[in-house]
Structure 1
Amino acid sequence: MTSQQLLKYFESRLDHMIASMTEIVEIESPSLNVAGNKAVVGWIESELAKIGGDLSFEKKKADGFGEHIIIRAFSSDQTPTLLLGHTDTVHPVGAKNDNPTRIENGRLYGCGVFDMKANIVVMLEALRFCEVTKQRPERPINVLLSCDEEVGSPTGRLLVEREAANAERCFVFEPSFNGSVKTSRKGTAMYTLHAHGIPSHAGLEPEKGANAILELARHFVHLDALNEPELGTTVNVCTMKGGTTSNVIPEFAECEIDVRFSTMDEAKRVENAIRSIRAIDERVNIEITGEINRPPMERTNAVVALYEQARETAASFDYELGEKQVGGASDGNFVAALGVPVLDGLGITGDGAHTLHEYIDISDIVKRATLVTKMLCR
């Protein structure tokens, strides 16, 4: 089927896709909400039953989160393409009252529609196309939809890495960047510095105290000096708390440090520097917790080749597809660390991720579905 024929096929499916997107967005599924996430998985199960054919799925229980779901389609002796996404959102139950699921000015609004429930529908529609038209993809398709991505994938990471280890390539359906796919992402790390000092009366005997807040503040300039923006490395103290009341030398303080990096060498440089921090006031004890959460997704030659395939595919139906490096991480970072080429940001164009004005552009739905399906069926 040509790109133009595929485009017309999805044009005929547009109303159904919008209806499906509305249904899944209406199911509120914040991270850590077991019932909500199971409800989304149940909805996906029902959609898979409608597709039928050469599809199977398994659910993996994630205590405290819900269920991960893995879909396997069009089996063969070829190594599979992995499609990656997640069912959880950042929006608490009730948020849809502030951003109702609705169509306005050519946009579909709703909590989690851009990040990334509408894109789950795109994945299912690609599977439906292959089954209905009997046009088998060039490789088997495995789909992993995790339920804890928005909180760092504490239970999903092992599944992501397990599925990626057997994959030829990976398409990640996180939001696009103004329509561009993401060919590299920074890695992330989070650290917390805890300072334990000695309390004393701030007016009567301040000299007997060891100020935990002051101790941490003395290290902020050192932490700021770790920034190397030309290398893509950022180090920021983002929260600070401590003390008990205004007339007591604070016994306790802590600060959280956000680190972003483009290479693992930079990640290790910053981590070594943070872990080498020692108290200036010897009466204060400093404890350091945290770690590297996601390695960087680097723009390798294999990633560039995958992007060029996507760009050429898009051009075949006059759809311009750019690329972008971004600071935020995704589960695609875990896949890239295993050496599997990753094309991220394949989600429908929109804006407002994690906000109450989140939306997708309806005009991009058909084009994105065409691009993805054509890539799978090259």
Structure 2
Amino acid sequence: MLRPLAVLLALHVAQPVAAQLPQAPAADRTLQRQSQARIEPFLAELGSLVAIDSGSDRPQGLDRMATHLEQRLQGLGARVERHPARPAAGDTLVARLEGRGDRGILLMVHYDTVFPDGEAGRRPFRIEAGRATGPGVADAKGGVVMILQALELLRTRNGNDHTPITVLFNPDEEIGSPGSAPLIAELARRHAVVLSFEPSPQNGVIDATKGIAFLSLAVRGRAAHAGADPASGRNAAVELAHQIVALQNLGDPARGTTVNWTVLRSGERPNVIPAEATATADLRYSDPLELERVRQQGERTISRRHIPDTTASLTLTPRRPPFPPNPATQALVLRAQAIFRELQLPLPAIAMGFGTDAGHAFQSGSSCPAVLEGLGVVGGDLHSPAEWMDLGSLPARLYLVVRLLETLPSSGCGPS
């Protein structure tokens, strides 16, 4: 793999879109050169990880990933623990690198993907026109490799003279982190800073994400023969349709709340009036108080029946808390932007509508830890066959992560 990779790099990384950092008087030029030199090993390692099918429900692929990551972290001098992430299929890896200070920095990202077995064979890792493609290349195997390569570079530059660092790789983010969320929250409380390595849609960082919940609507009616005696039935599917239309206004854009009905199910045979129907909605929110408002408004709405003798129930299930705008994160954004200015580059801070594990790390009501998201690779078309990762931004982002690890405080809370 390395020989063709070197050829591809020569063809693409040397092009104008490729990874050449601008020189700046305030920049650490040694680190610039070192970051540039790490691009070939970065892509070689990324290609080997993209070749592993590691869907959230595939224990064999997740175990292959975890074993590789465990060995890599041990090679960096870390003490590694594996924690079963039940009910998920894989293990959460927690690795500790000793350093000076009492709290340190937590680096985290997931290694599961949304893709089925065989996808890595159907769409193998490729480099073309300044981009890398393949299942999970940006979300979030690129983030996994960003952490590993930054730690490799940090050790080359500083040996063990750095802030205490903990690394968490979890196998279940794509299904809501049901097994790893408590461990993420527990570890976050012990650290001054949490850096999360989800991809960024542009060469920036993410300073806020939405919370996620599911709304489940269930309607019960009465079955009947659709041709011989339909009037004696109570059509649950039709009642469900009426209720969904009535529930369309549960969202509140001014408060950052969206509700979208996405999954509907009813009936098994075309000649039977369905007695049951269900629907699920995706709920995104920034303010946790919105959950109770949505629940109460939804209950009032479904209390009005459209087909007699039917019943309806609504259940709200929180899945992931929000990572809201906050002063501690803003201080981290300013620190990161100052580092990018060393390279004469802008670093936009972006609020995203998706949810990430930064929501589990953020501690509402506390300035500790300071959390920053989106420190992984630059990429887009996530969760689709067109998913891509940008090559040209890699050296600058490696530079950013290493400089953060070298300059963030080893005690207290957040950036000083």
Task: Give the TM-score range, shorter chain.
Answer: over 0.9
Structure 1 contact 136–377 (Cα < 8 Å) conserved: no
Q: Which runs of 5+ in 2 are unaligned?
A: 1-25, 408-416
Report what 1:57 is aligned to: 80
Divergent runs of 4+, >6 A:
none
Q: Deviations over 1:248-304 (max 9, x none)?
A: 221111111111111112222112323453361462232434411112111111111
Computed over aligned residues only, the root mean square deviation of the Cα atoms, in angstroms, reads: 1.9
Q: Deviations over 1:51-99 (max 9, x none)?
A: 33xx211111234511110111133442121111011011111112332
2:47 maps to amino acid = T
Cα separation, partners in 2 of 1:147 and 1:284, compared to 1, 3 Å: same
Report what 2:186 is aligned to: 162
- Counterpart of 1:192 (choices 210, 216, 220) is 216
Cα separation, partners in 2 of 1:137 and 1:354, compared to 1, 3 Å: farther
Report what 2:252 is aligned to: 228
Q: Say which is worse superposed, 285-294 or 68-77, in terms of deviation.
A: 285-294
Q: Deviations over 1:110-131 (max 9, x none)?
A: 1111001122111112222232
Report what 1:320 is aligned to: 346
1:3 aligns with 2:32: no
Q: Secondary structure at the match of 1:377?
A: helix
1:13 aligns with 2:38: yes
**1:204 shift after superposition:** 3.3
**1:40 shift after superposition:** 0.8
1:87-236 aligned at under 5 Å gives the runs 87-134=111-158, 139-236=163-260
**1:221 shift after superposition:** 3.1
Structure 2 contact 215–280 (Cα < 8 Å) conserved: yes
Structure 1 contact 210–251 (Cα < 8 Å) conserved: yes
Structure 1 contact 296–337 (Cα < 8 Å) conserved: no
Q: Deviations over 1:28-47 (max 9, x none)?
A: 21111111111111111222
Q: Secondary structure at the match of 1:58?
A: strand
Could you tell me how far apart the structure 1 residues matched to 2:161 and 2:174 are?
30
- Counterpart of 1:42 (choices 67, 73, 91) is 67
Q: Secondary structure at the match of 1:259?
A: strand
Q: Say which is worse superposed, 23-32 or 217-226, in terms of deviation.
A: 217-226
Could you tell me how far apart the structure 2 residues matched to 1:316 and 1:51 are?
28
Could you tell me how far apart the structure 2 residues matched to 1:205 and 1:48 are?
67
1:30 maps to amino acid = G
1:367 aligns with 2:391: no
Percentage identity across paired residues of the two chains: 31
Q: Secondary structure at the match of 2:245?
A: helix
Report what 1:308 is aligned to: 334
Q: Secondary structure at the match of 2:263?
A: strand
Q: Deviations over 1:279-330 (max 9, x none)?
A: 6146223243441111211111111111111111111112321111111001
Structure 2 contact 99–164 (Cα < 8 Å) conserved: yes
1:371 maps to amino acid = L
Could you tell me how far apart the structure 1 residues matched to 2:246 and 2:329 are?
36
Q: Say which is worse superposed, 139-148 or 350-359, in terms of deviation.
A: 350-359
Q: Secondary structure at the match of 2:138?
A: helix
Could you tell me how far apart the structure 1 residues matched to 2:378 and 2:161 are?
25
- Counterpart of 1:341 (choices 370, 390, 394) is 370
Could you tell me how far apart the structure 2 residues matched to 1:328 and 1:137 are?
36
1:357 maps to amino acid = A
- Counterpart of 2:386 (choices 348, 357, 360) is 357
Q: Say which is worse superposed, 267-276 or 320-329, in terms of deviation.
A: 267-276
2:84 maps to amino acid = K
1:376 maps to amino acid = L
1:24 maps to amino acid = L
How many residue pairs align between the two structures? 376
1:278 aligns with 2:303: yes
Q: Say which is worse superposed, 245-254 or 199-208, in terms of deviation.
A: 199-208
Report what 1:329 is aligned to: 355
Q: Which runs of 5+ in 1 are unaligned?
A: none
Report what 1:239 is aligned to: 263
Report what 2:319 is aligned to: 293
Could you tell me how far apart the structure 1 residues matched to 2:93 and 2:221 are?
47
